[in-house]
Amino acid sequence: MPQSQPVAADDARIEKKMRTSTPRERAENEYRRALGLVNQGRIQEAAAVLRAALGEDHGHLGARLALFGLLVEQQRLEEAQALLQEALARDPLQPQLASRLARLQLERGDSRGAAETLGKAAGAAANDAEFRAFHAAVLQRLTLHKDAVTEYQAALRLAPQAGVWWMGLGISLEADGRGAEAREAFQRARSSGALSAELDRFVEQKLRQLQ
């Protein structure tokens, strides 16, 4: 019996720790446990644990993105989309979530929805070159070329060696009737040295057309 007291004391400490932990801490613990389950291939259990984590703290970004990834892998696209839409409805200024949702919307053929999702988060992504270039590409797909030019130019101010973005800028400038500026953008795309052979041929053809 002499050991009963320390055991009881340990149990009390554990119980106290559980009572005093915050929802954020409990969510983080569940998130880490879920990652371990994923590594073991126990995907359904991991998904349930991630949902529990979000039940503790709906703002836990890691848990939401991990669950989103599992749902997409399982082709449960409606659930995956709803998972991110729920978070963005509470707080649209989350560029990471908005980008993931917009990509899924594009894959599902909803270009306009993707543009709306990105537009709502744009205020929090002013210095995110990848976000702004992606937004530009979506706007270009919708033939909103003036807006696409603005976003490409912003992205290129942040990352001036991105040849594909110079090419995208050239395409929208040409579509907007700004041939001289388009030619300059295509030249910058080629001189970046960052284009694939196929894209380089495309840009070369564009430059011949704009002579």
How many CB atoms lie under 10 A from the CB of residue 40?
Answer: 10
In tens, the pLDDT along 82-104 reads 999 999 999 999 999 999 999 99
Residue 27 one-letter amino acid: A
Average pLDDT over residues 74-87: 96
Dist CA 21 CA 194 (whole Å): 50
**pTM beyond cutoff 0.85:** no
pLDDT band at 202 (very low <50, low <70, confident <90, very high): very high
**Dihedral sign for Cα atoms in the order 146, 151, 156, 162:** negative
pLDDT in tens, 34-57: 999 989 989 999 999 999 999 999
Percent of the chain with pLDDT over 70: 91
> Which residues does 68 contact at the CB level (< 8 Å), separation at least 6?
80, 83, 84, 100
CA angle, corner 179, sides to 209 and 181, nearest 5? 120
Better-predicted residue by pLDDT, 145 or 39: 145
Q: What's the token pair of residue 84? A: 């991110």
pLDDT digits (tens, 9 = 90+) for 146-168: 999 999 999 999 999 999 999 99
Residue type (1 letter), 181: E
By residue count, the chain amounts to 211
For the chain, which residues make up each domain, given as ranges? 145-211
Among 16-25, 46-55, 87-96, 174-183, whose mean pLDDT is lowest? Answer: 16-25
pLDDT digits (tens, 9 = 90+) for 101-137: 999 999 999 999 999 999 999 999 999 999 999 999 9
Q: Are 156 and 165 contacting, i.e. CB atoms less than 8 angstroms apart?
A: yes
Residue 84 CA to residue 81 CA, distance in Å, equals 6
User: 145-211, what's its fold?
Assistant: 1.25.40
pLDDT of residue 21: 84
Contacts 24+ apart (CB under 8 A), 27-31: 27/53, 27/54, 27/56, 27/57, 27/60, 27/63, 28/53, 28/60, 30/56, 30/63, 31/60, 31/62, 31/63, 31/66
Q: How high is the pLDDT of residue 211?
A: 86
